Amino acid sequence: MSTVKINRIIAMATDPIYVGTGGFTIGRVDNTIVRDPITRIPKIPGSSMAGTWRYYMALELVSQIKEKQPHLNDIKNESDKSFDGKINQFIQSDKCDSFWKTKADKEWQKYCGNLIAKISCAGQDETSQANIENAPFEKNKENKSGHCGHCIVCKAFGFSKNDLSNQGMLFFSDLSILFFPVYTRLGTKWITSPKLLNKEIDIAENQIKTSKGDERHLNLGWLNLEVSGKHNISDVEKYKLEAKNIIIVPDSLISQIINSNLEVRTSVSIDPITGAAKDKALFTSEAIPRGTIFCGEVRGFNREGGNSLPKLGDIWRALNDSKQYYQSLGIGGMTTRGFGRMEILGELS
């Protein structure tokens, strides 16, 4: 029987984050970002999290084991001897131990399917029409390989081959904004609302609550609101925030305040010949500002699969070891223009 383990993901934007909608609009901003269709609050889609984390896990795995992996032909020859060329049976056999488990350093890297892991196990599968036994060796017309179908990356995130498809063991929710930074006359404060916190908080329309409650009025960007009293939010150290900087606003205002305080950057395309700006090439992009705190979930399905599936604990360890890449390579678009970096806070277990 399948069991489900849920891990909460807490992330902090260390750069403005741009996950675009893929089109232009007529208005204040040309390149808009993804929003929740109901609340209109910006978010990071779960598909973006799954796609980037799959790549980062493959990158971490291959960077650690590439020099230790035997040649694919040696693996194929070894599987031919006892298993009639069925590499899947070879990987699930005790023989794989002598080929691999003593060579890998970390526990999650010792999963026998990692014997044939490649960086192409992330991204689009270039050989989806291959049979599972040929998947590690087959290439397409452009000489590109695809998902191997055997390593911990393919098992955790899923794959689809001509004769076998496996649902992934990981399911990512959207990352929603939990605390949003806004400039005030008292410095930067982080706003949230009862619905975002999933708490019952008594707060009147067009009023806010602060940690002190004695400011009388306080501006949130351009909007000046009455302070109605103190809030009791205190456990925010895990978000790298201080309770004195938290402001509670009504659910009816949270979307308007967030969308009014997004970062907007103006850019221009450069003519490679002249080195100057192209005519009529000015455009603006909006982004979620640095310092924003997100929350979401990743669900792990611990299905029964014998030796053919990795342990869920090993997958959590692989995610923990690869989350560092979000701080350097980031998520979303325009990462070469100062966008995209974020930090995953805490550990998955």
Helices (H), the chain: 46-65, 72-83, 87-91, 95-96, 152-157, 194-197, 251-260, 312-322
Integer Cα distance of 228 and 213 in angstroms: 7
- Provide the 8-state DSSP code for 71: P
Closest CA to 332 of 9, 119, 42: 42
Asked if 302 contacts 5 with a C-beta cutoff of 8 angstroms, the reply is yes
Which tens digits make up the pLDDT trace of 269-278? 888 888 888 8
Residue 238, Cβ neighbours under 10 Å: how many?
Answer: 10
Which tens digits make up the pLDDT trace of 154-183? 999 999 999 888 899 999 999 999 999 999
Integer Cα distance of 125 and 145 in angstroms: 8
Asked if 20 contacts 49 with a C-beta cutoff of 8 angstroms, the reply is no
Which tens digits make up the pLDDT trace of 10-43? 999 999 999 998 766 656 688 889 999 999 999 9
| Residue 238 reports pLDDT greater than 60 | yes
Query: Tokens 């750069």 map to which residue?
Result: 15
Reported confidence tier of residue 145, pLDDT bands at 50, 70, 90: very high
In the chain, the percentage of residues whose pLDDT exceeds 70 is 96
- Provide the 8-state DSSP code for 175: E
- For the chain, which residues make up each domain, given as ranges? 3-18+46-172+298-345, 174-261
Which is more confidently placed, 307 or 36? 36
Closest CA to 1 of 304, 332, 281: 304
What is the SS3 assignment for 32?
strand
Structure tokens at 111: 């999963």
CA atoms within 13 A on the CB side of 58: 27
What is the amino acid identity at position 76? K
Integer Cα distance of 251 and 195 in angstroms: 6
What is the amino acid identity at position 121? C
Asked if 220 contacts 249 with a C-beta cutoff of 8 angstroms, the reply is yes
Reported confidence tier of residue 1, pLDDT bands at 50, 70, 90: very low
- Length of the chain (residues): 349
